[in-house]
Amino acid sequence: MLTAVILAAGEGKRMHSRRPKVLHEICGQPMLAHVIGAVRNVCSDIIVVVGHQGEEIKAAVGDSVVYAEQHEQLGTAHAVLQAEPLLPDAGNVLVLCGDTPLLTPDAIEQLYTVHRSAAAAATILTATVPNPFGYGRIVRGPDGEIQKIVEEKDATAEEKMLTEINTGTYAFDIRALREGLVGVKNANAAGEYYLTDCVELIIKSGKKVATSLLPDYRLALGVNDRIQLAEAQSLMQERINRNLMAAGVTMINPATVYIDAGVKVGRDTVIFPNTILRGRTVVGEGCMLGPQTEITDSTIGDGSQVRHSVVTESILEKKVTVGPFCHLRPGTILKSGVKVGDFVEIKNSQVGEGSKIPHLSYIGDAEIGCDVNMGAGTIVVNFDGRNKYKTVVADGAFVGCNSNLVAPVTIGRGAFVAAGSTITNDVPAGALSLARARQVDKPGLAARLLGHRDDEK
């Protein structure tokens, strides 16, 4: 039973934001959620220290973790001190920052393994980075043993040259941590109680402090501003895309494919450029998505195709074809084999197996059966300015081009609506319904009208 303490009470001044820093999202999830996800495998108990806008953080993260309050943000050691009463009497604890979203479960496990095999009082996860600016530097003695961590603000010119940095991730023996925390002072450039000083105190007390070096420094990125937020986003995106490609997804140009953490994509699916898959989206096998497509919180069945379209909170069963230029809004359910063509908007409607809505339609609050053909330009008139009503089109019906179906209305099974009809009454099964003015032809009148028009010019 290992406990983790995640520090998330800071304001994140350098973000210049109304939102708490750790709630800024990376690949669709708050940074803090990524950190929680990374420690979950290793730690059964997670304590999150909140302070600045703590209520928002609690609302976003929920009750799968325990919270400790830091009312005044006096530094990282002070933050850990607020969680201290919740820690067990003895054993180990991991301490992490809520703003290092790229850490992996493997890196955390490696830290904990080093900590245990070294029987250390503290172990620090470090990284060697090309640009150490802003990070605490690992200062080592002539023997290579760690002596202390010095913060950017307090570092000498020589110390600033050091490229091994503190990732802000630690394993502590709980007793050693308690003893160390008591001694931390705030006599430094920031006037804060630094957790990093606790490490020095533990070393000075003669206890063993180990380090675990990250093999890939990019996992260490701490997000303090929007530039680092964008860097983290791009690194996380690369990781997600590579994992999907390794599992059998083709991406034509992965640099232009944006997929949220947690989205699932089946193998042999091909993703074309400028495609965004968000939230709880699940894509089956052998699909073709994009180019220029945004799919949010939707399920796309095997063998489906979505091109140049926006799909939100919708379910597409198997071998569904959508686009180009469709807008599927929440509550759209397209059964297997449905074809929705260009310039079609659908919301809160179900379309039965094999039905086609090939061109230029609006379908809202409708239930469309199987093998229905909705002609080009068919509009479901679902709203009378006050209320919305339902339209039913039964199996095998044929709706001619440019028809209006004024809800509430039912088109019976196998009925035929003539092109250009405005249907206001139910159409019986099997009936042909014509609801349009009869054509009148006036011989010779065209020339007069055309001539008249010429006179005006």
Q: Does 38 bind ligand UD1 (CB under 6 A)?
A: no
CA–CA separation, 223 and 10 (whole Å)? 12
**Is residue 99 near Ca ion by the rule CB under 5 A?**
yes
Rounded Cα distance between 137 and 128, Å, is 10
- Residue selected from 75, 180, 266, 337 as contacting ligand UD1 according to rule CB under 6 A: 75
Q: Which listed option, ligand UD1, Ca ion, none, makes contact with residue 317 (CB within 5 to 8 Å by class)?
A: none
Contact of 346 with 331, CB cutoff 8 Å = no
The residue at minimum Cβ distance from ligand UD1 is 136
> How far apart (Å, rounded) are the C-alpha atoms in residues 299 and 289?
12
CB closer to ligand UD1, 212 vs 355: 212
CB contact set of 226 (below 8 Å; sequence gap of 6+): 15, 16
**Cα 132–136–138 angle (5° rounding)?**
90
Tell which residue, 385, 384, 374, has the closest CA to residue 421: 374
Question: What 3-state DSSP class applies to 31?
Answer: helix
**Is 327 among the catalytic positions?**
no
Q: Which is nearer to ligand UD1, 158 or 456 (CB)?
A: 158
- Bridge partners of residue 93, in order along the sequence: 3, 172
Find the angle CA(345)-CA(348)-CA(353) to the nearest 5 degrees.
80
Q: How many residues bind ligand UD1 (CB under 6 A)?
A: 30
Q: Does 151 bind Ca ion (CB under 5 A)?
A: no
Residues 258-297, mask of contacts with ligand UD1 (x by CB under 6 A)? ----------------------------------------
From the candidates 34, 52, 359, 452, give the one annotated as an active-site residue.
359
Here the tokens at position 138 are: 């690992």
Site string for ligand UD1, 8-37 (x = CB under 6 A): xxx-----------x---------------
Residue 217 CB partners (closer than 8 Å, separation 6+): 127, 128, 129, 130
Residue 370 binds which entry of Ca ion, ligand UD1, none, with Cβ cut-offs from 5 to 8 Å by kind? none
- Of ligand UD1, Ca ion, none, which one does residue 135 interact with (CB within 5 to 8 Å by kind)? ligand UD1
State the Cα–Cα distance between residues 65 and 60, nearest whole angstrom: 12
Is there binding between residue 7 and ligand UD1 (CB under 6 A)? yes
136 binds ligand UD1 (CB under 6 A): yes
Active site residues: 359
Give me the residues that bind Ca ion (CB under 5 A), please.
99, 222, 224
Give me the residues that bind ligand UD1 (CB under 6 A), please.
7-10, 22, 49, 70, 73-76, 78-79, 97-100, 135-136, 149, 151, 165-168, 194-196, 222, 224
